[in-house]
Amino acid sequence: MLAKRIIPCLDVCDGRTVTAVRFVDLRNVGDPVELGARYAEQGADELVYLDISATFEGRRTFTSLVSRIAARIDIPFTVGGGIASIDDAGRLLDAGADKITVNSAAVRDPALIDAIAAKYGSQFVVVAIDARQIDGVWRVTTHGGRRLTERELFAWSREAWERGAGEILLTSMDHDGTRNGYPCDLFAQLSQRLPIPIVASGGAGSVEHIVEVLTRGRADAALAASIFHYGDITIPELKRQLQACGVPVRL
């Protein structure tokens, strides 16, 4: 069995790492480069940096910050926020990103996934999906969860894969920042429907939550933010506990 990945997420607003509940009520928790370097040293498998205000404010993703990150860390990292063209993707690749995520722009123009995958390869393309449950149906949202679309989660995730996505990063906006656990049944359904890796995001508050989403939820990776930023648990301790629970991880 492939090792499960532990991925700290650093939400960045105005050059600082912040925490939030459903992408609002922001709190500054430190410098994104220094935090990323610390997590890499502790044994994180990858990092994700999301410029959470880029799409909402109509700005381009923070290229200079990506260059600084690439100069400091030696593990793969993914960058997202405001990526709306092949040129945006290429600029971030040149700056040192290993993968990019597309979200709102891909919902607006799904051909963007095809274009980036065709030029750079599916392994470079992560489609991030922010979803809410509305009347029993998981609906896709955009602009940091601020805008509800008519797209249904499972149909959109399948289309994203067919267009060339190499990975899906799914965030439950109903659970994001609550620290009440992931919606494991949702992730299990998505994992069963798609042949590409699924990264689970939204709701991590304990080791038990991460164990559950990597086992019952069948996710390939668990993404979390607050539990690392506030020191609730370190990555080495988390991995030791995961291993003790029978979850394969890289120590």
pLDDT at residue 174, rounded to an integer: 84
Q: Sign of the C-alpha dihedral, residues 226, 231, 232, 238?
A: positive
pLDDT at residue 180, rounded to an integer: 82
Measured distance CA(143)–CA(207) in Å, rounded = 30
CATH among 3.20.20.70, 3.40.50.150, 3.40.50.970, 3.40.50.720 for 5-244: 3.20.20.70
pLDDT at residue 30, rounded to an integer: 80
pLDDT at residue 230, rounded to an integer: 87
pLDDT at residue 236, rounded to an integer: 97
pLDDT at residue 215, rounded to an integer: 97
pLDDT at residue 21, rounded to an integer: 53
User: Residue ranges of the chain with pLDDT lower than 70?
Assistant: 19-29, 53-61
The predicted-structure confidence for 122-139, as pLDDT tens digits, reads as follows 999 999 999 999 999 999
Domain boundaries in the chain? 5-244
**Catalytic residue numbers, as ranges:** 11, 130
pLDDT at residue 63, rounded to an integer: 86
Query: Which residue, 34, 40, 31, 37, is CA-closest to 6?
Result: 40
Number of neighbours of residue 72 by Cβ within 10 angstroms: 13
pLDDT at residue 162, rounded to an integer: 98
Q: Is the pTM above the cut of 0.85? A: yes
**Which tokens in the block code for residue 156?**
């959109």
pLDDT at residue 107, rounded to an integer: 97
pLDDT at residue 213, rounded to an integer: 97
pLDDT at residue 32, rounded to an integer: 92
pLDDT at residue 33, rounded to an integer: 94
Measured distance CA(28)–CA(80) in Å, rounded = 19
pLDDT at residue 55, rounded to an integer: 57
